[in-house]
């Protein structure tokens, strides 16, 4: 925390080399968050790029004593929302999400099963609204507390609980539906 | 607690996101009710699978790509100008102080009537001519200041000459 504060002050004083160490601990988290929000690796990288631009540009507005992690994730989330909104406008490109996840396994049968399960989970994710998805990803994906999640999303803990409850219920419903269909085959 | 109420709380209970009291009640109900228990287990399975998927489906930055991205960000925008004021100095304070300074200067320059008429802020009540001319019209050369003690009646006269000449 103190190191982080020092790095922020260094960047604000013009030492640009301190910017990379400042973001380094969160780089994978940022990318994964953007990836799960957009469903596409290239788009996720663009979202991260946009977020990093914003962080560098508006670092001076970051309030001392607040959690940098929460602020950073908030910027990433907002960039991802912007991207999703843009996509919604140009809806002809919708549904073109990347399904080629890296998979190191060489066993075709196992690979097929894993892909099938992943596809089911991904399908359940598509049912979630952006807010539900972000709450679920922060709480259950990143392991943040309800309070931290509410800080990142700029909403109340009650709202986080409501969206989280809905998200989990929706995912469970989709799971139940898919497995029922499988059993019916 | 009724089943309907418990089922509304199950999605939060499965991730231990309820308050301790609520959690206790839900778990107590689950122990008794097989339908709610089944629902709870089902939620648990879906949540665990999702978490597992989220943990597995991690994407990583390539070192070079990450550094390029940071480099682009730093180059794209002009460097933040290091301020003379310390970092937590608030902009609002600066604007406030500037506004106060402008108002003060304005009051000193214009001297509005409500300030002019106040005692102590107007012109000095001394008359220049009375100090510089005696009754005959000659320029006054000395000023005598007499101090009288109230207790002892002692008088002290101080004489100030215009050329600082000593007088006994």
Query: Given an 8 Å threshold on Cβ–Cβ distance, is A164 in contact with B12?
Result: yes
**Residue B41 — φ and ψ, nearest 5°?**
-65, -40
- pLDDT at residue B125 is higher than 70: no
Task: Output the pLDDT for position B104.
Answer: 92
Task: Output the pLDDT for position B99.
Answer: 94
CB pairs under 8 A between A and B: 115
- pLDDT at residue A184 is higher than 80: no
Task: Output the pLDDT for position B78.
Answer: 62
Lowest average pLDDT, out of A1-15, A91-105, A155-169, B88-102, goes to A91-105
- Which CATH topology does A1-98 take? Rna Polymerase Sigma Factor; Chain: A (1.10.1740)
**Residue B143 — φ and ψ, nearest 5°?**
-125, 130
Interface test with B, best of A58, A113, A175, A179 (most B CBs within 10 A): A175
Share of chain A above pLDDT 70, in %: 79
Q: Which residues of B touch A (CB under 8 A)?
A: 8-9, 11-12, 14-15, 17, 42-43, 45-47, 49-51, 53-54, 57-61, 65-67, 69-70, 72-74, 76-77, 79-82, 87-88
Express each pLDDT in A58-76 by its tens digit: 888 888 878 888 899 999 9
Task: Output the pLDDT for position B127.
Answer: 55
Rounded Cα–Cα distance for residues A93 and A6 (Å): 43
Contacts of A75 in chain B (CB under 8 A): none
Write the CATH number of the domain with boundaries A104-185: 1.10.10.10
- DSSP notation for B126-167: --HHHHHB-TTSPBP-EEEEEEE-TTT--EEEEEEETT----
Express each pLDDT in A145-161 by its tens digit: 899 899 888 889 999 99
Same fold, A1-98 and A104-185: no
- The model's confidence at residue A104, banded by pLDDT at 50, 70 and 90, is very low
Task: Output the pLDDT for position B116.
Answer: 67
CA-based nearest residue in chain A for residue B82: A13
- pLDDT at residue A162 is higher than 90: yes
Q: What is the DSSP letter of A96?
A: -
Shortest CB distance from B66 goes to which of A27, A53, A124? Answer: A27
- pLDDT at residue A21 is higher than 70: yes
- Of A17 and A88, more confident: A17
- pLDDT at residue B122 is higher than 60: no
Express each pLDDT in B44-53 by its tens digit: 988 888 888 8
Contacts of B54 in chain A (CB under 8 A): 36, 137, 140-141
- The winner for highest mean pLDDT among A55-59, A83-87, B118-122 is A55-59
| Segments making up each domain of chain A, as ranges | 1-98, 104-185
Per-residue pLDDT, averaged over A72-82, amounts to 89
Express each pLDDT in A165-180 by its tens digit: 999 999 888 877 766 6
CB A38 within 8 A of CB A96: no
Per-residue pLDDT, averaged over A9-22, amounts to 86
Length of chain B: 168
Q: What is the DSSP letter of B100?
A: H
Query: Given an 8 Å threshold on Cβ–Cβ distance, is B80 in contact with A64?
Result: no
Rounded Cα–Cα distance for residues A148 and B53 (Å): 22
Contacts of A41 in chain B (CB under 8 A): 59
ipTM over 0.95: no
- pLDDT at residue A136 is higher than 80: yes
CB A165 within 8 A of CB A110: no
- pLDDT at residue A94 is higher than 50: no
Q: What is the DSSP letter of B72?
A: H
Residue B39: CB atoms within 10 A of its CB come to: 21
Express each pLDDT in B54-109 by its tens digit: 887 778 888 888 888 888 888 776 655 555 555 556 678 888 999 999 999 988 88
């Amino acid at each position: 925390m103190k190191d982080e504060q020092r790095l922020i002050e260094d960047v604000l004083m013009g030492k640009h080399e301190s910017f990379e160490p400042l973001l380094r601990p969160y780089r994978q988290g940022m990318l994964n968050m953007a990836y799960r929000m957009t469903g596409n690796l290239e788009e996720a990288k663009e979202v991260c790029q946009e977020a990093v631009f914003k962080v560098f540009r508006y670092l001076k507005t970051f309030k001392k004593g607040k959690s940098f992690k929460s602020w950073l994730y908030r910027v990433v989330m907002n960039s991802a929302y912007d991207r999703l909104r843009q996509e919604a406008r140009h809806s002809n490109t919708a549904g073109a999400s990347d399904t080629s996840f890296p998979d190191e396994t060489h066993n075709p049968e196992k690979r097929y099963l894993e892909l099938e399960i992943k596809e089911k989970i991904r399908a359940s994710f598509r049912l979630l609204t952006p807010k539900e998805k972000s709450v679920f990803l922060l709480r259950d994906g990143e392991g943040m507390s309800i309070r931290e999640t509410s800080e990142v999303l700029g909403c109340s803990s009650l709202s986080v609980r409501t969206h989280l409850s809905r998200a989990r219920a929706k995912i469970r419903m989709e799971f139940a539906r898919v497995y029922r269909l499988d059993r019916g085959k | 607690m009724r089943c309907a109420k418990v089922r509304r709380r199950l999605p939060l209970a499965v991730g231990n996101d309820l308050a301790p009291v609520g959690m206790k009640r839900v778990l107590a109900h689950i122990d008794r009710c097989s339908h709610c228990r089944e629902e709870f287990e089902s939620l648990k399975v879906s949540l665990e699978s999702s978490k597992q998927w989220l943990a597995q489906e991690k994407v990583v930055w390539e070192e070079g790509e990450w550094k390029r991205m940071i480099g682009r960000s730093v180059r794209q925008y002009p460097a933040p100008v290091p301020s003379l004021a310390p970092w937590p100095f608030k902009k609002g304070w600066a604007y406030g102080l500037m506004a106060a300074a402008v108002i003060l200067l304005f009051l000193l320059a214009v001297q509005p009537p409500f300030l002019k008429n106040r005692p102590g802020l107007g012109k000095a009540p001394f008359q220049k001519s009375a100090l510089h001319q005696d009754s005959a019209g000659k320029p006054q050369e000395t000023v005598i200041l007499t101090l009288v003690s109230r207790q002892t009646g002692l008088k002290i006269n101080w004489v100030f000459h215009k050329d600082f000449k000593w007088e006994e």
